[in-house]
Amino acid sequence: MKDVIISPSVLDADFLHFSDEVNKIKNAGINWIHFDVMDGHFVKNISFGNLFLKTITNRIDLIKDVHIMIEDPLSMVKKYQEAGADYLTFHYEACRDDAEVFEVIDKIHECGMKAGLSIKPGTPVTKVYPFLHSLDLVLIMSVEPGCGGQKFIEQTLQRIFALKTKIRDEEVHTLISVDGGINDETGENCVQMGADILVVGQYLFGHGDFNERVERLLK
């Protein structure tokens, strides 16, 4: 069994029967859940936001891994604390400069949440290096953010490996999460390169048996 965390992305889950979807996650022995917030500006789609999350998170006893694909993350940190996020991951590309990235990280920590920083496929992985000592998690996007069900970008593997090497050299404990196009095959490759968390959407919530797919991811 692989030593990896699975964080199911519910973007394409059945929202009409959402408690069934949460039970599938729990019954499979998973204790994380990934929420993708999209604002229609940073990415073209709009998914759901802080007020929606606030109405459900206190009834979901899983680790709430909230990925905000939004502009001006600094102004929204407090709202996502109120919305029940445990991990709050924002985008490097949504910040004006490194000083603002540090400001967002500090604010997330002040609000009692774990801080994650995400980079899009076109952003050099070296851009997150200055923040590693302050971060709990780096989320490497393995597709362009904006929707589920896309194909995994293979160059992501080198990016994970480079980041893992840097994390080891710096002797920090930042977790590496990978998001987009993860299935049993791409997931296996990411774990080999050093990923700690696999964010998985359609592979779990599309067709097929949820438990069997979790087993395949972990085998």
List residues binding Zn ion (CB under 5 A): 36, 67, 179
Query: To the nearest whole angstrom, how small is the minimum distance from the Cβ of residue 202 to ligand DX5?
Result: 3
Binding to ligand DX5 in span 176-215, by CB under 6 A = 179-182, 199-203
201 binds, among ligand DX5, Zn ion, none (CB under 5 to 8 A by kind): ligand DX5
Tell me which of 65, 179, 196, 209 is the catalytic residue.
179
Contacts of 42-49 spanning 24+ positions with Cβ under 8 A: 42/69, 42/70, 42/71, 42/91, 42/93, 42/94, 42/145, 43/69, 43/145, 43/146, 44/146, 45/146, 45/147, 47/11
Q: Is 65 a catalytic residue?
A: no
Residue 22 or 33: the one with the smaller Cβ distance to Zn ion is 33
194 binds, among Zn ion, ligand DX5, none (CB under 5 to 8 A by kind): none
| Close Cβ partners of 158 (under 8 Å, ≥ 6 residues apart) | 193
In whole angstroms, how large is the CA radius of gyration of the chain? 16
Catalog residues that contact ligand DX5 under the rule CB under 6 A: 9, 11, 34, 36, 67, 143, 145-150, 179-182, 199-203
